[in-house]
Amino acid sequence: MPDTPQPSHPPVINRDHWEQVSGDYSNQVLSVFENDKQHLVARSIEAFAQKHPGATAADLGCGVGQFTPTLARLFKTVVACDLASTGVQATRQRCASYENVSSHRLDLSEDPMPFEPVDFALCVNVLIMPSLDERLRAWRCVTNQVVSGGTLLLVLPSLESVQMDLIQRVDNLIDQGHSCEEALAQGQSSRASSQDLQQGIHRLDGLPTKHYFQDEIEYLLGEHQFDVQEMLKIEYSNSRDADSWDWLVRAVRR
């Protein structure tokens, strides 16, 4: 039975939600840090740090700080920030032995940044808010936190991956003997409004989440004065997400 279509205005995912997720992170979020099959994110961080000794870094939307110690070991100073105070506290505990790490609770869509732009900014699955207004402000903030010539390493949910999953689901239903009409009705993601679908908003871990297609990422980064250097598929080792991928994007600010 298809779900009732949702209202067309995108829901606001508020701070309470992320506070609750950060308190139960391993059960509620696919950890890129733990499941990146080829360790592409870690390798990209290391490659930058090796070429730029003494560089500064930021972990924007650090969550519970899984990537922050890696940055702390490789960069001169690291600033970590997140909307959720539970996440910031967890990051502080995790990085207690590093004197070069500072952390802040802040909203990337609203708050002034309490630190200078850095040479290397990591932003893993943060620019995913369904509200266009909130997302555009967060994009502006994240891209402004990188110095000219500096690097932004982004992980973004892939729209191509969701689309492939839907196509395969419909195909499997047809293989099982369903008519095309039945397969399309059962296979589609009917909880999203047509506006959500146009904007690439699909549910991930039960949450309406912005997904991006490759050309869109290149376009958005260009609009923010960044050139894409590399775009790779991050594949995951846990069985639930084995067939899906995210985009790992390395871009340099002009």
Ligand X SMILES: C[S@@+](CC[C@H](N)C(=O)[O-])C[C@H]1O[C@@H](n2cnc3c(N)ncnc32)[C@H](O)[C@@H]1O
The residues that touch ligand X, with contacts defined as CB under 6 A, are 18, 22, 29, 32-33, 61-63, 66, 82-84, 87, 107-109, 124-126, 129, 138
Nearer to ligand X, 150 or 157 (CB): 157
Nearest approach in angstroms of CB 124 to ligand X is 3
C-alpha to C-alpha distances, 83 to 89, 109, 137, 197, nearest whole angstrom: 11, 10, 14, 26
CB of 28 to ligand X, least distance (A): 9
Which CB, 90 or 192, lies closer to ligand X? Answer: 90
The answer to whether 153 touches 118, Cβ cutoff 8 Å, is no
Provide DSSP, 134-195.
HHHHHHHHHHHTEEEEEEEEEEEEBHHHHHHHHHHHHHHHHHTT--HHHHHHHHS-TTS-HH
Smaller CB distance to ligand X: residue 153 or 170? 153
Distance CA 77, CA 4 (A): 49
Residue 173 CB, shortest distance to ligand X, in Å, is 30
H or E stretch covering 223: helix 214-223
- Whichever of 121 and 221 has its CB closer to ligand X, that residue is 121
**Which is closer to ligand X, CB of 146 or CB of 183?**
146
Nearest position to ligand X, beta carbon: 63
Least gap, CB of 121 to ligand X (angstroms): 12
Q: Give the DSSP letter of residue 236.
A: B
- Choice between 84 and 173, CB closer to ligand X: 84
Q: Are 82 and 22 in contact (CB under 8 A)?
A: yes
Q: How far is the CB of 44 from ligand X (least distance, A)?
A: 14
- Residue 79: which region, alpha, beta or left (left: phi > 0; alpha: psi -120 to 50)? beta
CB of 175 to ligand X, least distance (A): 34
